[in-house]
Structure 1
Amino acid sequence: MSQHRIAVVGGTGPQGRGLGYRFARGGHDVVLGSRSAERAEEVAAEVRGRLDGLGGAGEVSAATNDEACREADVVLLAVPYDGHDELVASLPLAGRIVVSCVNPLAFDKRGAHGLVIDHGLGSAAESAQRLQPDATLVGAFHHVSAVTLWGEEDFLDGEDVLVVGDSREAKEVVMEIARSVTSRPGVDAGKLRLARQLEPLTAVLISVNRRYKTHSGLRVHGL
């Protein structure tokens, strides 16, 4: 398996922390990014504590979001959708594989639901590609729970990571990185525009979780 240096933008949030932990556990070097370098270092120390004594783990360091991206060949966007476009436009992402796990959601009295992006003709991942035309966008890791990512299991081997993008080569990189999470490659789920379906599907899993008091994921059968 190829080793990558992965920057996690939003690495101090539950999803970013959990994915950073899993990537490092799988042997990749991880830079946790944040608006605050001090906060990033606090979380990086927490992740390093979880990895202490684990053979084959990658290095975990901390930086501001901007600095983290400059040091990486793969960048994960693990940030809230609120403020997403302004942040993404400001980052040095040209020439990098950029993985979006951003889920544009809203909540009301009836629960979670997906936001309509660009009148139904867009998604957070596509917005990031438009803002960063010299980066290669891939959508993945939308449906893995932050709770299970930070859990004690060696792998989330009951789940699959669905991967969408317009570059076959970039998808193959991300599908292999997904092995750090589930113990097997991610599933090629098609073109980047299908992020329009993957992102709001997270609201369905949130509804399932609330009803059954669990942390559900997705598994593709028949492959």
Structure 2
Amino acid sequence: MTIAVLGGTGDQGLGIAIRFVQAGENVIIGSRKAEKAEQAVEKVKKLLKDNSLPNLKGLNNEDAASKADILILTVPILAQKPTLDSVKEHVKDKIFIDATVPLQSNIGGTSMTYFSLWEGSAAERTEAILKGTNVKVVSAFNNISSSSLMKFDSEIDCDCLVSGDDNEAKAIAMELIEKIPGIKCVDAGPLEQARTVERITALLIGLNIRYKTHYGGLRITGLPDKK
């Protein structure tokens, strides 16, 4: 499968792209402009000290979405709807992983505060915007810090809470995400659970600030092993 990281030029998107490239997956970095995506590819090559990387390319978001099987959205909340509108015609029947979190820092406030959306969560907003495409929306990566993702020579000491209404799509997403060393996925339930999971991001940011680190995450304990 080919993975497109839409809006993948920031630290979160780059970190996800790097991790999946390292895992041997075919990855496309998407951006509003192809030139910016290509620059991100060159940055990844420098970071990984590898000038070839045949499994990585950069395209504009529309082309990236059309060529990929799994899409991952890594944009600030203000860019969420414009990005979704631009790729809507290319998402039919695909798996769409949304990592968006509505933080008040995007609207002039603090990154430690979440703000509520009418749809209930950013992931549910994505589902509403993409309605009619039979896309399978999954919420994930919200509680994995971009700093941990970009520390690509180390395992990530954090669980990834994953929610979604399509169990098959959720299972595929979880299997993919667990190719990133250290991450264990936890099935958080239906997509509406993203309302709770997204809020955890604001809490983790606050804890990282308080304890002067960038790598604080969470582990869910006491659950039985997955069969």
TM-score, normalising length from structure 1?
0.89
Structure 1: any 5+ residue segments left out of the alignment?
none
What residue identity is the alignment partner of 1:128?
A: T
Once residues 11 and 110 of structure 1 are traced to their aligned partners in structure 2, the CA distance between those partners, rounded to angstroms, is 23
The alignment of Structure 1 onto Structure 2 pairs a total of residues equal to 215
For the residue of structure 2 that corresponds to 1:181, the secondary structure is: coil
Q: Partner residue of 1:174?
A: 173
CA distance 1:68–1:111, change in 2 (3 Å):
closer
Q: Partner residue of 2:159?
A: 160
- Kept in 2, the 8 Å contact 1:22–1:181? The answer is yes
Please, which moves more after superposition, 10-19 or 178-187? 178-187
Q: Partner residue of 1:144?
A: 144
Once residues 154 and 79 of structure 2 are traced to their aligned partners in structure 1, the CA distance between those partners, rounded to angstroms, is 34
- Kept in 1, the 8 Å contact 2:158–2:184? The answer is no
- Pairwise CA distance, 1:222: 1.5
Q: Partner residue of 2:97?
A: 99
Once residues 183 and 47 of structure 1 are traced to their aligned partners in structure 2, the CA distance between those partners, rounded to angstroms, is 21
Map residues 201-212 of structure 1 onto 2, 5 A cutoff.
201-212=200-211
Once residues 181 and 160 of structure 2 are traced to their aligned partners in structure 1, the CA distance between those partners, rounded to angstroms, is 8
What residue identity is the alignment partner of 2:37?
A: A
Q: Partner residue of 1:47?
A: 44
Please, which moves more after superposition, 79-88 or 68-77? 79-88
- Kept in 2, the 8 Å contact 1:155–1:180? The answer is no
Superposed CA offset, 1:129-171 (max 9, x none): 1111221100000011111211143421x21111100011001
- Pairwise CA distance, 1:186: 1.4
Task: Note if 1:75 corresponds to 2:71.
Answer: yes
Q: Partner residue of 2:27?
A: 30
CA distance 1:67–1:161, change in 2 (3 Å):
same
- Kept in 2, the 8 Å contact 1:24–1:58? The answer is no
Q: Partner residue of 2:122?
A: 124
- Pairwise CA distance, 1:185: 4.5
Q: Partner residue of 1:135?
A: 135
CA distance 1:111–1:122, change in 2 (3 Å):
closer
Once residues 111 and 55 of structure 2 are traced to their aligned partners in structure 1, the CA distance between those partners, rounded to angstroms, is 39
For the residue of structure 2 that corresponds to 1:43, the secondary structure is: helix
CA distance 1:167–1:32, change in 2 (3 Å):
same
Structure 2: any 5+ residue segments left out of the alignment?
none
Superposed CA offset, 1:72-108 (max 9, x none): 0000000110131232122121111000000001047
Once residues 160 and 61 of structure 2 are traced to their aligned partners in structure 1, the CA distance between those partners, rounded to angstroms, is 25
TM-score, normalising length from structure 2?
0.88
Question: Alignment identity in percent?
Answer: 36
Once residues 58 and 124 of structure 1 are traced to their aligned partners in structure 2, the CA distance between those partners, rounded to angstroms, is 33
For the aligned residue pairs, the C-alpha RMSD in angstroms reads 2.0
